[in-house]
Structure 1
Amino acid sequence: MTAPDYSLFLHSLASELDIQAGAEERDALLQSVGLRAATRLPLPACETTEDFELECNALLYLMGWGRIALALSQEKHGLTLTISEPLRLGSLGTPSGQWYAAFYAGLLTGWFQQTGEAVTLHQDKDASTSEILVFDAKG
């Protein structure tokens, strides 16, 4: 059996949410949804940053929602997270194609919390494109 395609519904819902709530409210809602998703799909125990990256990728693969790479950034004095092949809803979002960015921020924040790390994620909109989402993490 083939899974139903919800893309028309999701695109219409996303467009309406943007019109009704605006970008700031939408992002707050999507971040909360991401945090809730992290509790529904908990991360296994992680001892190292490498373990964290591997376990995040295993769960993202399970959902079909891209791949994450973590790197220490000397320039930014923190951790940079890059999600390749993120989920998109057409060109929705600012910048274009990045509508789900706040969901990813909430999901990753929730997974960091599960490891005992209090991390704040900020999307680097200059480095993000429709093909990758880039976040800076500060602890």
Structure 2
Amino acid sequence: MLVQDQITDQNALTYFARRGVAPQWRVFLRAMMETLESHLDHGAREGLLRMVGARMASLMPLPACGTLDELESRMNDTLAIADWGYVQISLDVNNRTVMLRHVAAPMVGTHADLTGSWVGSVLEGLYGSWLGNQPGAEPGIHVRRVGPDGGAMLLRYARG
């Protein structure tokens, strides 16, 4: 893929992620996030947003899944209902890690976070709860952002 194609793809993903937030919620979300930014330190804000994601998971529970393919499909069905983009799951056997690539999360920027990357903390809580509630899940394993991946958010589910 050419660099120009990557830029176009990233711009398209960003466009669709911003477009995915209904106009009546865009101002509210920006005001809420800017209020949180001005009243909570970074760690407290991240923790609160993870709790919001975990609460979302409890409101949109997933059934027990037998394979990663089934889990990805169930997650994507649920994300589609909420218009929250989609996820691609891969397994890194050597590092005992499940990688999640979330595409087109609804993003609303703030004065301190123009890209709306705060949604990554919500995704950490959402995926952490969904994965933690699957059969055989071990306690103490968390989902954490690795960083942006083009126009997507890359997260990892692993110990430590």
TM-score bracket relative to the smaller structure:
0.7 to 0.9
Question: Larger deviation: 12-21 or 70-79?
Answer: 70-79
How many residues align? The count is 135
Q: Map 1:11-90 to 2 at 5 A.
A: 11-73=30-92, 76-90=95-109
2:144 to 103, 117, 122: 122
- Bigger Cα displacement from structure 2, 17-26 vs 48-57: 17-26
Q: Once superposed, which parts of structure 1, at least 4 consecutive aligned residues long, lie more than 6 Å away?
A: none
Pick the aligned partner of 2:156 from 122, 136, 139.
136
Structure 1: segments with no counterpart, 5+ residues? none
Task: Name whichever structure is richer in helix by fraction.
Answer: 2
Task: Give the TM-score normalised by structure 1.
Answer: 0.86
2:127 partner SS: helix
- The runs of 5 or more residues in structure 2 that have no matched partner are 1-21
Q: 1:18 to 1:130 in 2, by over 3 A?
A: farther
Q: Aligned-pair RMSD on alpha carbons?
A: 2.2
Aligned residue runs from structure 1 range 104-123, under 5 A: 104-116=123-135, 117-118=137-138, 119-123=141-145
Cα distance change on mapping 1:134 and 1:35 into 2, 3 Å: same
- How far the C-alpha of 1:75 sits from its partner, in A, is 6.2
Q: TM-score, normalised by structure 2?
A: 0.75
**% identical equivalent positions:** 23
The CA deviation at 1:19 is 1.2
